[in-house]
Structures are given as C-alpha cells and as structure tokens.
Structure 1
Amino acid sequence: MTSHAVAAQSLTPAAIQAAYGLIKPHVHRTPLLTCQTLDTIASTPQSPEALVGTPFEGQTPAHPQFRLFFKCENLQRIGAFKVRGAFHALLRLLEERGEDEVKQRGVITHSSGNHAQALALAASTLHVPAYIVMPRISTSSKIAGTRSYGAEVIFSGSTSVEREAVVAEVQEKTNAILVPPYDHFNIICGQGTTALELEAQYAERVESKTLDAVITPVGGGGLNAGVATYFSDKPQTRVFGAEPSFEGADDCRRGLQAGQRVEAVTTLTIADGLRTPVGLLNWEVISNKEKVEGVFAVSEEQIKAAMRLVLERMKVVVEPSAVVGLAVCLFDEDFRRRVEQDGGEKGWDVAVVFSGGNTTVEAIGKLFG
C-alpha cells in the first residue's frame, strides 16, 4: 500500500471535526444562501437547440427538480475557502515543530492566488514569516492581497513544474517549511470544515431532511477530498466534483475514466483556480467511488453563463472557478438525468460550494465585454 493510501485512511470525519475546533476562531461561518430563480432555471429542461454541438445532441432534455443551497466561501476571509486549510496546516505545524523553529524558518508555498493569500493571512496572524511563489499572470487583486498581509511574493511561470522549481530555489536560501496548496493531510482536513458547517446550516434550514448531494469545484482537489471525507460516513449525501473542460483542465474526470491519475495539466481556462492537476493524496480520496460518485466538466461558455446568473440574479460576486458546480447542475445532461431519475418528482436538495470570489471589475468586464 502506498504512503498516500495509508494517509488517506486517516482522513476521517473525526479528523475534520478536530480541525474545525482548531481553526474556528480564525475563520468565518459563511452563509448558506438559496435562490428561487436559480432553482426554477435549473429545474427547467434545456431546449433541444441548446444541446446541438454537445455530447447530448439529439437526446430528450432531462427534467430534474433542484433545490439549490449555495455555500458562500466567496465571503470567507481572503475571499475563498483556502483560509481554512492554511490556518489548520500552520497551527498544526506550530504544534508539531514548536514556535521557535517555525518562526525562525518561516513557511513557503506556491499558488495562483487564493492559497497564497490564505497562507499570507495565517502567517501574519500567527507571526510567522511567509514566502509566496505566484505565477506572473496571477490576478492583480490576488497579488496585492497576498502582499497586504506582509508576505514576500516571488514570481514564477504558470505551470506547477515552474512554480515548484522557484519554491526549491527559495527554500535553498531560506530553509522555509513548505505548506503545499492542496496535496497535504492538514490542508484537506481544513478544507473539509466547509462541509461540516454547510451540513449544520442545512439542518437548521430544512429539519428532518437529508442533503441529497454536494458538488464542489476540483482543481488540486483539497476541497473536494475534504468534503468527501466529511460525508464519508453519511452515504445518503452524495459528493460530486466539477471542472472546466477547456484545454484538458478536466484532468480529474479524465483520470477517473482512464483509471489513472493525470499528472500534468497545461490550461489557461478562465477558472484560474482550477488549472492544477489533482494531488496524490486527494486522488486517493476522489478516485474512491464510495466517497466521490463522479466528476463532471463544463465549457468556458457554460461557466460564464453560470457566473452571469449568480452576479445578476443572486447579486453575489464570484470568480469563474466558483461556479463550475452550478454550471454542471444547469448544463450537464448526464448529471441532470441522474437527478431526474434518482430524485423523481421531489427532486434533489443540492449544496453547491462557491469556492471563492477573488476577481476584479476589469476581469469581469473582459469576460462579458
């Protein structure tokens, strides 16, 4: 058994609860919102014309019934769920290595922006020096946000290989301790606290009913693996993943089809938080059918359409990466048919995690200009 398979066995709902106890003072309990308009749109069959040119062309459009619940991690500190994993990983590091060593060496990571800001905030809160390697093409607001917490930003190319090379150079000089962006036990446990909150909020809202499904974006896979870990002893709540399909960004979906993890991804999808391959430990969780029932992919146009609906109908600011799960509910006929068949007339209550809201007015203008 590989070391990742062994580590995956330690990823339990209890580990997520323990993480929550540790990070609770440092994170927001983000709202769980509903939107009747989006329920209606998602529960309306797509027109046959809309399916032309897609793999579903010529099929009778599905007619599912959705009640959607949006976990708004775009309203989390630093504007994304990543702060959960960053605080958890850093607090555990201080416990394990001692304050003196961690504060002397500092921490380092690489990220296109959300984990960058998250670790910068956690490090500044806990008085630890932080070095953050960011691709030169990162969103300007994410770079500014990372610097505003006092972290030292070092630029790199955009692929994970280029980022990791710069991390190694900086570590050589500083001896900083790596806090990986997603492929790490403590990161996954921290991200999984999203699910713990959302289940409690759903129970407050809908008594005596079980959530039918949760769908999250998949980039490196920390959020999806954490959410799937939390629900792993609650089989009545199914967990799904969502990815962009542009330029092979759907590495997780393709890997599941092939029965083997895809090791590298080179894509410039508008969902910039989802440009990385799924991590090794995350793959152990996500490739387990008992934990994650499936991963679906959506096009750039579908992501933009979902984002427009959230901006205009919900009045909620999200980044493109955040809405891939909603886009699956709206446009993926395989997923919609599953909800129609399994949910019948009563349909499914589906929680959609909005993973972040770190975009700019200029970026939104460019997308829809």
Structure 2
Amino acid sequence: MLDKVPAASLTLDDVIAAHERIAPYVHRTPVLTSSYLNELTGAELFFKCENFQKAGAFKVRGACNAVFGLSDEMAKRGVATHSSGNHALSLSYAAGRRGIPCHVVMPRTAPEAKKAAVRGYGGQITECEPSTTSREAVFAEVEARTGAEFVHPYNDPRVICGQATCSRELLDQVAGLDAVIAPIGGGGMVSGTCLTLSNIAPEMEIYAAEPEQADDAYRSFKAGHIIADDAPETIADGLKVPLKDNTWHFVSNHVTDILTASEEEIIDAMKLTWQRMKIVIEASCAVPLATILKNPEVFRGKRVGVIITGGNVDMNKLPWIEG
C-alpha cells in the first residue's frame, strides 16, 4: 500500500501512475503570465493556475489519487480527514465522484465558503477548535466512530504523489524554467514539487514561501529539525499547519530556501494579482508573489514557475475591506 511507503522511496513512476489515475477527475490547469509583474519583479513569472482546478484548489490532485487508489473493500468504509478547507473540500469532491462517504474535521474558524463547498460535495463536517491539538483530538474520535480510511492533508505518500502531478504538468507547459516557488504550510505541494523536479530537473531551484506569522517551516529549515507551532494566526489560513515526517524529508533534502512575507505584503500581493491578472486567488496563494517582490535579487533574470494553489475565497471577508 502506497500510504505505508516511506517518502524517501517514492519514485517518478509513482507520480506517472498518479497522473494517469486522476486524469478523468482533474483539470490540466493553464499557465498565465503578466508583463506588468515581470517588469515589477525583473523576472519572467509563469503562474500555474490551480485556482482553476476542480474544487478550486490543487489539493484535489492528492485527494483523487488517494480515493481512486483505494481497494473496493477499503472504499466501502469511506474516507476521513482534518483540514482547514481545501483538502476537506477536495477529499469530499473525490469521495463524491467515487460514491463513498467523506468525514471531515474542520476548525470552527475556517472560511464559511470552504465549509459550504465541503457540504456541497457531500462531506460531513465535525468542527474543532483552531489548533493542531484540537484538530487531531477531534479527528481521532471521528476516525474511531466511522472506521473510515484516513487521508492526511499532506503527510500521506498518496497525496504527495498526487500533488507532484502539478509540477509535472508545469514542466510540460513551460520550457527552460530556472526555479519553481510554491506556498508552504504542511508541505504537501512543496514535497510533490520536490519529488517531480528532483527526478526530472534536479538542477532547478525550489523555493517555498511562508507567512512570517506562521513561519515554523522557515524555522525548521534553518534549525535542521521540525519545529511545530500549535495555533499560528495569519491571513493565509491554508498555511497554518506544521511539517510532518514525510514532508520534512523533501523539504530538508531538496528545497533551496524558504522565504517569508508579512501579513501586509501578502494582502498587497493578493490584491495586485486580482487587479493585474484578473483572477481570484486566496491569501495563501499570494505568499509566493509577496516573497518574490520582497526578494527581487533572488529571482531577477530568472524564469520562475509560480504555483497558485487555490481560489476558494470568502467574498464577504476580503482582507482589504474593513468590517
């Protein structure tokens, strides 16, 4: 079973198998560019737009790989997870496509738009307090009650292989990239990016972008071991969770550097993307652009793939509108 396989033993063949498995259920998302943002940053930026993905986020890739990789016997019991939003609605989407139950533990503070999407896809929500401790304790109760298969939001090899298909597509769509940057919370997308690039383009730089107010991955990277925060506060709600053993393997071995941005810088980058690219992105997705704008010397003159991870925004709570 792939969920029991150590992250270090995952291969490009696992990524290729995942790509074939999920193809009927996900979009091959477009890559967009902006001459304005290129001029502003001094780099050539290529935005891989997972905000146009099924369920509105890249996490549907990993969720579909996990759900459609289950045996019929395992699938009968359904799936379960804990998530602040995008993995929850993505797993609900995947379970709905297979016709099996999905149980989700979500923080009570999660955006209402994401809760509504989970319910719309048929997911059953149990709420918890907004901390890793509460999330994992409540989930243990749900898992024991339902007997459902646990699909971790990011520390699951099946999920990492699914997320790896995003950067594989990006390499097919854009030639000659020097670097790729993605947001980091628990590290599922960054790990998938590392898995793909270390096998196909090992010379390529891999950057992770993180909020200053939830910078445990940055501090872990500098310290050489996992440092976990329990309940950080940031506008980037999808990036509050800590690294785990499988994602730490990829981050510690393959990431070039982790860059951080302030809350104001994240909001400014989110607003700039809406204004200039005319696309809806979440605050979490704006962190890479915020760090590029903050560190132009790192990216100037380079061709950079920027993974926009999702577009599930609560329109009633836009961060630049007071009240």
TM, length-normalised to structure 1 = 0.84
Which residue pairs with 2:133 in the alignment?
161
2 CA distance for matches of 1:258 and 1:283? 12
1 CA distance for matches of 2:284 and 2:145? 34
Residue 102 (structure 1) aligned with residue 81 (structure 2): no
Partner secondary structure for residue 287 of structure 1: helix
2 CA distance for matches of 1:253 and 1:216? 13
Which residue pairs with 2:144 in the alignment?
172
Structure 1 residue 263 displacement after superposition: 2.7
Q: Say if 1:214 and 1:350, in contact at 8 Å, map to a contact too.
A: yes
2 CA distance for matches of 1:101 and 1:22? 17
Alignment equivalent of 1:226, drawn from 192, 195, 217: 192
Distance 1:194 1:101, change over 3 A: closer
1 CA distance for matches of 2:74 and 2:15? 26
> 1:39-118 maps to which residues of 2 (within 5 A)?
39-43=38-42, 66-92=43-69, 94=70, 98-103=71-76, 105-118=77-90
Structure 2 unpaired stretches of 5+: none
What is the root-mean-square deviation of aligned Cα atoms in Å? Answer: 1.5
Which residue pairs with 2:305 in the alignment?
351
Structure 1 residue 90 displacement after superposition: 1.1
Alpha-carbon deviations, 1:199-236, whole Å to 9, x = none?
Answer: 11113xxxxxx210000000110000001110003123
Structure 1 residue 19 displacement after superposition: 0.8
Structure 1 residue 360 displacement after superposition: 2.0
1 CA distance for matches of 2:26 and 2:321? 32
Partner secondary structure for residue 236 of structure 1: coil
Alignment equivalent of 1:235, drawn from 196, 199, 202: 202
2 CA distance for matches of 1:307 and 1:339? 19
2 CA distance for matches of 1:15 and 1:178? 20
2 CA distance for matches of 1:338 and 1:77? 33
Partner secondary structure for residue 313 of structure 2: coil
1 CA distance for matches of 2:121 and 2:7? 33
Which residue pairs with 2:238 in the alignment?
273
Which residue pairs with 1:343 in the alignment?
none
Amino acid at match of 2:59: K
Alignment equivalent of 1:216, drawn from 168, 172, 182: 182
Partner secondary structure for residue 120 of structure 1: helix
Higher radius of gyration, 1 or 2: 1
Structure 1 residue 111 displacement after superposition: 0.5
Amino acid at match of 2:177: L
2 CA distance for matches of 1:149 and 1:361? 20
Which residue pairs with 2:270 in the alignment?
307
Q: Say if 1:13 and 1:231, in contact at 8 Å, map to a contact too.
A: no
Which residue pairs with 2:316 in the alignment?
362
TM, length-normalised to structure 2 = 0.95
2 CA distance for matches of 1:308 and 1:368? 11
Residue 337 (structure 1) aligned with residue 281 (structure 2): no
